[in-house]
A = this chain, B = another copy of it.
Amino acid sequence: MAATWGEAGAVEVLAFDIFGTVVDWHGSIAREMAQLHPQVDGDAFARAWRAGYKPAMARVMSGELGWTLIDDLHRLILDDILPGFGLAHLGEAERQHLNRAWHRLDPWPEAVEALQRLKRRYLLTTLSNGNIGLLTRMAKGAGLPWDCVLSAEVFRAYKPDPRTYLGVAQVFAVPPARVMLVAAHHDDLAGARACGLRTAYIERPLEFGAAQPKDVSPRQGNDLHARDLAALADQLGC
């Protein structure tokens, strides 16, 4: 298997989904809440904040909202959910600080070392709906060794819009089949596959927390299925 992917003419660019795939948004947000507001159920708070994410992007993609960075969508959702958690009293500075929690997400334990291995052979880019500033500050804080930071912000479209997947191939001037999307979400991988990209599914059974385990059983269609990024590096012979 390893040789297939390392050969000339094969995959050159690995494009990574970030939230859930590389970083543990649920655990990180829950831990921030436990520190800042220990009276709140951080587990439920993290899930509520994230649950607003797809509907908010849909409002942008439908044209109801103009183009909006994820930092700003996170803030809209935050303002929406705070009252339900007894935090309606939070002031502007506290809300801004809390919103920046998405810049401070912790990587899954094996991620940094695995990315360093993959980086020796592949060009590593983000391909996230998160905005460039968010992704860059997160990488700097967490030590994520990207070669390039690509985002929905560059293509002015959110995944799974084809402009994002094809945009990566265009930026690096390679055919789509030389790009592999690495993600923990089947809808994202399906979007990439429809554009001709290769795909690698990463199991993240605890993405939504231990109270809500995710079905990570293999599905047809992906080129690779790996327990985590270290296992992906093994499969790619890095």
Contact = CB atoms under 8 A, between A and B. Distances in A.
A172 to B, nearest CB: 5
Interface residues of A, number: 19
A125 interface: yes
Interface string A129-158: 001110011011000000111100110000
A171 interface: yes
A71 interface: yes
B154 A140 contact: no
Contact of A133 (B136, B153, B171): B171
A163 B148 CA distance: 21
A159 to B, nearest CB: 18
A148 B154 CA distance: 13
A150 B71 CA distance: 19
A133 to B, nearest CB: 5
A211 interface: no
Contact of A173 (B133, B171, B173): B133
Interface of A: 71, 123, 125, 131-133, 136-137, 139-140, 147-150, 153-154, 171-173
| Top-8 shortest CB links A-B | A136-B148, A133-B172, A148-B149, A132-B171, A133-B171, A140-B147, A136-B147, A133-B173
